[in-house]
């Protein structure tokens, strides 16, 4: 089949249902109220498609616009106001650290804890500040009591560090791991739950699963999976690296026992910030990564006993939360999915293109991995960078490969269209 020209590409996209989205991009701008970042008087789906409504949001980041950065799945840039707050806080801490850091800044971390807990929907006494998802998840994986022969269930697509951690516990503590293979991306929730159910054993003591699989962008049905495990009294650790401030699901919708996330991803907080949620009745039995005083046994702060650290990144979580609230969780979610569909919908119509996510709303968000026929991921990602200054992430996994594309709120429709044009060129002419 011949490659599609731009006009045909767009008309097929329209036939496939994306016309309102694409047409919406040209809709007249509704200006936000003076000083507001975004006009939220209209429904999220409508605002998402109105490119001009996002100008103030896009301008909130001073990113290098000579680069089209569609690799926001690793670490994200902070909006200017977050970075400015962080820089000033760091400067202030150094004026007289015993006073400015110890007496002034560190006590304010309690306020940050409160605000994050309110945003996640848990009690502040269940939320520990961490430097990233890794620190939070490792705390659980290394800190939960497991005896020789106990089993931990996870998937072949969970984060590589955590699979390594479990392997270390195999070698060190004699536990066993079960890694299940997920069914196809468009499998029903019932099929996913059945797959997990079939892999649970009478010795399973913990389940680790990703809220969103970083390799593909697939969102797992966390709540029914947690329900399944809880029926068997098995606690669940959710790797929420890509969940918080991206997928609008709070604690009650997840109902898991442990949740680890990074705030330098979707919240846009300074690099080196995250949190670990531990359900209150599980705090006492979880060992902290760094031993804390015995009287903190039931206290969530025992997971923060890491020695001297900078308060500045953590205090600058506050402006990041403010900005997230101004934009609104549902408006952010709708916009990220709109940006995703703008490139993916037409591309998915192209013969031979394999999309590694189910495009329905409950199943995927901003991230999506695709394999283009005859275009291996590594050379394609290299070509996109060297020829077009477009950054995407090549993914090579034993079960699939492809390029992962991850826009952010600062991404413009024009930048997404540059990707679409480059991919059409690659499909038509190859990488030469
Ligand atoms: C699914 C998943 N889990 C955990 C992590 C680790 O995040 P961090 O490096 O912020 O700890 C990542 C990082 O990209 C990830 O994609």
pLDDT (tens digit per residue) in 15-24 = 233 323 333 3
Instruction: Check pLDDT > 90 for residue 8.
Output: no
Residue 175 · residue 169 · CB < 8 Å: yes
What was the pLDDT predicted at 36? 87
Report which DSSP code applies to 237.
E
The residue among 348, 339, 346, 341 whose CA lies nearest residue 12 is: 346
Which CATH fold topology does 83-322 show? 3.40.640
Rounded CA-CA distance 216/225 in Å is 19
At residue 26, the pLDDT reads 35
Residue 11's pLDDT is what? Answer: 35
pLDDT at position 33: 60
Residue 4 has pLDDT above 60, yes or no: no
Topology of domain 6-60+332-429, per CATH?
3.90.1150
Alpha-carbon separation of residue 63 from 78, 230, 319, 412 (angstroms): 9, 44, 18, 12
The atom number, within ligand 1, closest to the CA of 265 reads: 10
Confidence of residue 34 (pLDDT cuts 50, 70, 90): low
- Structural contact between residues 357 and 400, judged by C-beta atoms closer than 8 angstroms: no
**What's the predicted TM-score (pTM) here?**
0.92
> 262-292 pLDDT, tens per residue?
999 999 999 999 999 999 999 999 999 999 9
Span from the CA of 115 to the centroid of ligand 1 (angstroms) = 23
Identify which of 409, 339, 414 has the alpha carbon closest to the alpha carbon of residue 59: 409
Does this chain's domain 6-60+332-429 share its CATH topology with 83-322? Answer: no
Residue 27's pLDDT is 37
Distance in Å, CA 239 to ligand 1 centroid:
8
State which ligand 1 atom lies nearest to the alpha carbon of 264.
10
- Give yes or no for residue 10 having a pLDDT over 80: no
Tell me, in angstroms, the distance from the centre of ligand 1 to residue 130's CA.
13
Domain locations in the chain as residue ranges: 6-60+332-429, 83-322
Q: Which whole number is the average pLDDT over 300-329?
A: 97
Residues with CB under 6 A from ligand 1: 74, 132-134, 159, 210, 214, 239, 241-242, 262
pLDDT in the model for residue 32: 55
Instruction: Kindly state the average pLDDT of the residues 143-152.
Output: 98
- Per-residue pLDDT, averaged over 11-31, amounts to 35
251-257: average pLDDT:
97
432: confidence class by pLDDT, cuts 50, 70, 90 = confident
């Amino acid at each position: 089949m011949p490659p599609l020209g731009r006009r045909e590409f767009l008309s097929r996209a329209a036939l496939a249902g994306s016309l309102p989205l694409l047409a919406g991009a040209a809709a007249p701008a509704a200006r936000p109220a003076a000083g507001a970042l975004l006009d939220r008087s209209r429904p999220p789906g409508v605002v998402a498609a109105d490119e001009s409504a996002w100008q103030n949001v896009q301008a909130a980041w001073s990113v290098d616009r000579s680069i089209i950065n569609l690799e926001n799945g690793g670490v994200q840039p902070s909006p200017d106001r977050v970075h400015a707050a962080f820089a000033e806080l760091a400067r202030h801490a150094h004026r007289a650290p015993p006073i400015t850091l110890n007496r002034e800044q560190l006590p304010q971390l309690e306020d940050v804890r409160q605000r994050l807990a309110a945003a996640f929907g848990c009690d502040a006494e269940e939320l520990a500040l961490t430097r990233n998802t890794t620190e939070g998840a490792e705390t659980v994986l290394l800190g939960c009591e497991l005896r020789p022969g106990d089993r931990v269930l996870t998937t072949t697509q969970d984060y590589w560090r955590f699979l390594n951690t479990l392997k270390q516990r195999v070698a060190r503590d004699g536990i066993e791991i079960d890694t299940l293979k997920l069914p196809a991306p468009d499998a029903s929730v019932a099929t996913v739950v059945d797959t997990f159910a079939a892999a649970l054993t009478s010795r399973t003591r913990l389940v680790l699963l990703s809220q969103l699989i970083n390799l593909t962008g697939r969102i797992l049905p966390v709540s029914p999976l947690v329900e399944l495990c809880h029926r068997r009294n098995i606690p669940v650790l959710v790797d929420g690296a890509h969940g918080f401030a991206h997928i609008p699901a709070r604690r009650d919708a997840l109902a898991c026992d442990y949740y680890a996330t990074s705030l330098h991803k979707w919240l846009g907080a300074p690099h080196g910030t995250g949190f670990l949620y531990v359900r209150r009745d599980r705090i006492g039995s979880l060992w902290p990564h760094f031993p804390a005083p015995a009287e903190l046994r039931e206290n969530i702060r025992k997971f923060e006993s890491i020695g001297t650290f900078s308060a500045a990144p953590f205090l600058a979580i506050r402006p990041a939360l403010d900005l997230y609230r101004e934009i609104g969780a549902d408006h952010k979610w709708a916009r990220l999915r709109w940006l995703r569909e703008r490139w993916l919908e037409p591309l998915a119509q192209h013969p031979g293109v394999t999309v590694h996510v189910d495009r329905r709303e409950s199943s995927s968000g901003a991230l999506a991995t695709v394999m283009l026929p005859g275009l291996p991921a590594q050379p394609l990602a290299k070509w996109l960078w060297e020829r077009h200054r477009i950054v995407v992430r090549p993914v090579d996994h034993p079960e699939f490969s492809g390029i992962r594309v991850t826009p952010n709120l600062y991404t413009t429709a024009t930048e997404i269209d540059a990707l679409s044009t480059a991919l059409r060129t690659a499909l038509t002419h190859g990488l030469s």
